[in-house]
Structure 1
Amino acid sequence: MTPPASRDGTPQVSNARPARHQHLSDEELRAALAEASGSRTDGERLQKVLARAGVASRRHSEQLIDAGRVEVNGKTVTRQGVRVNPETDVIRVDGVRVQTDQSLRYFVLNKPRGVHSTMSDDMGRPCVGDFVAEQTAAGQRLFHVGRLDADTEGLIMLTNDGELANRLTHPRYEVSKTYVATVLGEADRELVRALCEGVELDDGPVKADSAQIIDTYNGESLVRVELHEGRKHVVRRLLKALGYPVQRLVRTKIHTVALGEQRPGILRALNRAELTSLYKAVGL
């Protein structure tokens, strides 16, 4: 079609662009309009996701949203009916992250002595992977968070949450770990002072965040040591350097996650309070 002419007879050329959505299907058009208006047509309603995650009932979750206490991907949400993707969106209530991805798993194992911190062992030795064989057979790809040497017992975490695992083991976040050591020698306050002041090891200085003598008996002592170091055999080397060789070592706590009465060889899932505390500790 010939374009209309201007008054002087020259063809008039239009600079107008075709409508953005004129070639979109009805479904694509609805999605584009939803994006432009700041709403979503996919995902699940935010209050339903919060209720399923155990934050509160659906009604109370709606009240949290109304009060401006809920964030999605760093933005405060105050409108009801907002839809989210629980597997990818970061949701926080009162600044604390809520774990909404149902595919993520978190376990605590009380590792027995003699068990290796690997998911499998080519030599057939017992390893932590043996204790989650049922979960891995069901398709869960779990891995251990950090290591305990074979002779060290106690708390080790297993998860498929790579970001949390990386941060828990990264020195930057200084996540504390607590050990109870049975050592040769009857310890006194001098040992506590030395642990907290620090010792120069062959790979650099190290010191405990806190230390306590729990008991002394028959030429041995029970000593609790808390530190955020992650170097290999660091607790054993630290106590040996101070003249108290370790006879038995048990990790009892990582940050606020504790073994409590959990027996060796027993596996349990983290509860929501423990998981929330770990997320907060590493800034997730």
Structure 2
Amino acid sequence: MRSSGSGKSGGRGNYRGAGNNRDQKQGGQGGRPRKPRPEERRYDVGPGATKDGPKSGRGASARGGAKGAPKQSQQGGGRGRTAPARSREYEARAEERNRERYAGKKDIKLPKTFPGAEQEGERLQKVLARAGYGSRRACEELIDEARVEVNGEIVTEQGLRVDPEKDEIKVDGLTVATQSYQFFALNKPAGVVSTMEDPEGRQCLGDYVTNRETRLFHVGRLDTETEGIILLTNHGELAHRLTHPKYGVKKTYLAAIVGPIPRDLGKKLKDGIQLEDGYARADHFRVVEQTGKNYLVEVTLHEGRKHIVRRMLAEAGFPVDKLVRTAFGPITLGDQKSGWLRRLSNTEVGMLMKEVDL
């Protein structure tokens, strides 16, 4: 029979057991202190650690157990104690008391977040971007280049606020159409009636803009058999001025006639041709092309009477075989195909407005 205190195997077994003599000797008889077992070790290594527990550092997490384990609730009035959640009824009563407390008092002026925040209106670069002059960054570059003016003064600083309904905004001297206006140029084919609706069911200008949300109307007219450029817009004032004799907006036509024609035909047209409703004068005349007896001539005039070009040339002795309007003021037909509708650019709109002092 083996004794409990002899032998390596017996000693090792007793050492691992709780409360053996060896542990008592190391801990209670003045010997050197024993090494703590793994389950007895402390990790109070943070700054300010005490025997009651760590204040910070690794000990706080170690004392709570494994990583991610729930922390122990603290008793008493410690810092870690959380306040109880307030009920909705309590929050409602508190809000009602605050309303009663501040009822009748003047509104508190909040601090301005940027210079000019008290101003009304929109930033200039935003208005220009919405009008189609590019991104806001590109519009800021226009301002930096001193190409933008508001109410007659060139803008030199960013952040200016404007009222698109009241302020006059120009880029490179051309007025910006800042509202929701639309401007189109149509190359009207022969046989199309210059009305937006036709009770007889004939093809008309309205057939080219049936899918537009905004109601458009035509600027002036062209004969049914006359081809060429005609403007469509919802800007009433611009349309009115473009057709008013006061502003004298010029229109250019190409007419096919049969010659030979005298050299002084242009002079006669410029001096004036007597018609049944008064004199009609051309502003410009020139021969564009001649093929045998067939001539293609260009006539420019600012009048807008019915069949004015056909009547003038017929009275001079040269009936028109074909007539095309190639320009309305600064807007030219160019290579736009017959029956095609295109939106005017911002520059073109500005040129039209400048033509009639808008």
TM bucket normalised to smaller: 0.7 to 0.9
- Which amino acid letter does the alignment assign opposite residue 198 of structure 2? D
Larger RCO (CA under 8 A, 6+ residues apart): 1
Q: CA deviation at 1:147?
A: 0.3
Q: CA deviation at 1:54?
A: 4.3
Find out whether 1:104 has 2:178 as its counterpart: no
Which TM-score applies when normalising by structure 1? Answer: 0.78
For structure 2, the 5+ residue unaligned runs are 1-103, 111-115
For structure 1, the 5+ residue unaligned runs are 1-22, 31-36
- Which amino acid letter does the alignment assign opposite residue 218 of structure 2? H
Name the residue aligned to 2:196: 119
Q: Within 2, Cα distance between the matches of 1:252 and 1:25?
A: 65
- After TM superposition, the structure 1 = structure 2 runs for residues 38-187 of structure 1, keeping only pairs within 5 Å, are 40-41=119-120, 43-55=121-133, 58-59=136-137, 61-62=139-140, 65=143, 70-74=148-152, 77-78=155-156, 80-101=158-179, 103-135=180-212, 139-187=213-261
Q: CA deviation at 1:219?
A: 3.4
Name the residue aligned to 1:227: 301
> Which is higher, the Rg of structure 1 or of structure 2?
2
Name the residue aligned to 1:213: 287
Q: Within 1, Cα distance between the matches of 2:105 and 2:223?
A: 60
Q: CA deviation at 1:172?
A: 1.1
Q: Within 2, Cα distance between the matches of 1:39 and 1:251?
A: 52
Q: CA deviation at 1:202?
A: 1.9
Q: CA deviation at 1:44?
A: 1.9
- After TM superposition, the structure 1 = structure 2 runs for residues 186-265 of structure 1, keeping only pairs within 5 Å, are 186-265=260-339
Name the residue aligned to 2:18: none
Task: Give the CA RMSD over aligned residues.
Answer: 2.7
**CA gap 1:44/1:182 in 2 versus in 1, 3 angstroms:** same
* Secondary structure, aligned partner of 1:268: strand
Percent sequence identity is: 53
Q: Within 2, Cα distance between the matches of 1:177 and 1:26?
A: 61
Q: Within 1, Cα distance between the matches of 2:148 and 2:214?
A: 30
* Secondary structure, aligned partner of 2:187: strand
- Which amino acid letter does the alignment assign opposite residue 207 of structure 2? D
Q: Within 2, Cα distance between the matches of 1:59 and 1:250?
A: 42
* Secondary structure, aligned partner of 2:184: strand
Which TM-score applies when normalising by structure 2? Answer: 0.63
Q: Within 2, Cα distance between the matches of 1:48 and 1:199?
A: 52
Q: CA deviation at 1:182?
A: 1.0
Deviations 1:54-100 (A, max 9, x none): 44664564465567654334555555433233355321235421222
Q: How many residues align?
A: 250
